[in-house]
Amino acid sequence: MTASLSVNLNAVAMLRNRRDLPWPNVIGIGRIALAAGASGLTVHPRPDERHIRFSDLPDLRALIDDEFPEAEFNIEGYPTSEFLELVARNEPEQVTLVPDDPAQSTSDHGWDLQRHADFLMPIIQGLKSRGARVSLFIDPNPEAPDAAKKLGADRVELYTGPYGAMHDDAKRAVIELEKLTATASAAASIGIAVNAGHDLTVANLPPLVKKMPNLVEVSIGHGLTADALIHGMAGAVERFLDALKV
């Protein structure tokens, strides 16, 4: 099974937000990504709207519903009441819960699932009651998938930032990949699906995919957007789809 690709549009939105102008058009870029073969779109709306704006979400929902009904909308973020209201209004197929502080520039760690169990469980139950699939953002840790499953999560998303950071150190990249592989194997043994995301590239995706036959989805923004500056968004999507076919 080839993992699906969800294109994270936050980097595109951040570029747009540098000016009080409507380009690059986030909806238009999302349309190009889906037309090129991406299986879905991901956004991470933060309280200050420095990337995706809250007003983008209905338009992205409509894009998928009207033009790409087989695609999925994935909204990720820390589950404040405001975030949960955005989710309720825009009905994503998947909600990825991350433990970000609002001041963080990007996600850089997974949940401590034991510490936050009482906080997360009712939120997960509420999201699932609305029909959303719930994924929990976790660090590589073979114990984490079981904890996530006990909380009611449908999937875990492996934080691959430390692996991506080893782009210039092959030996340490292998060590980080082994941590991810051990966690994915633990997830497979208990029947919880695995997503992955953060600093994934055309170069480091194939080794990851080869080691994780149970990987079902990757969410990629920064690396894919950087690739699109060279190859165009459609070309970048095609390159990442090829990297998933190993």
Predicted pLDDT at 1: 73
CATH of the domain at 16: 3.20.20.70
Closest CA to 111 of 157, 163, 74, 73: 157
The predicted-structure confidence for 213-222, as pLDDT tens digits, reads as follows 999 999 999 9
**Nearest-angstrom CA–CA distance, 13 and 29:** 10
Q: Domain of 33? A: 4-244
Looking at the DSSP bridge assignments, the partners of residue 172 are none
Predicted pLDDT at 104: 63
**Nearest-angstrom CA–CA distance, 156 and 128:** 15
Q: How many domains does the chain have?
A: 1
The predicted-structure confidence for 98-154, as pLDDT tens digits, reads as follows 998 766 666 678 999 999 999 999 999 999 999 999 999 999 999 999 999 999 999
**185 vs 144, 188, 189, 207, 246, CA distance in Å?**
11, 5, 6, 15, 18
Predicted pLDDT at 103: 65
For every one of its 246 residues, what pLDDT tens digit does the chain have, with 9 covering 90 and above?
Answer: 799 999 999 999 999 999 999 999 999 999 999 999 999 999 999 999 999 999 999 999 999 999 999 999 999 999 999 999 999 999 999 999 999 876 666 667 899 999 999 999 999 999 999 999 999 999 999 999 999 999 999 999 999 999 999 999 999 999 999 999 999 999 999 999 999 999 999 999 999 999 999 999 999 999 999 999 999 999 999 999 999 997
135-169 burial: b if 16+ Cβ within 10 Å, else e: bbbbbbbeebbbbbbebbbbbbbbbbbbbbebeee
The residues annotated with a catalytic role in the active site are 44, 76, 198
Looking at the DSSP bridge assignments, the partners of residue 135 are 96, 155
Predicted pLDDT at 108: 72
Closest CA to 95 of 130, 121, 69, 132: 132
**Nearest-angstrom CA–CA distance, 115 and 123:** 15
Closest CA to 151 of 128, 183, 181: 128
Mean of pLDDT over the chain: 96
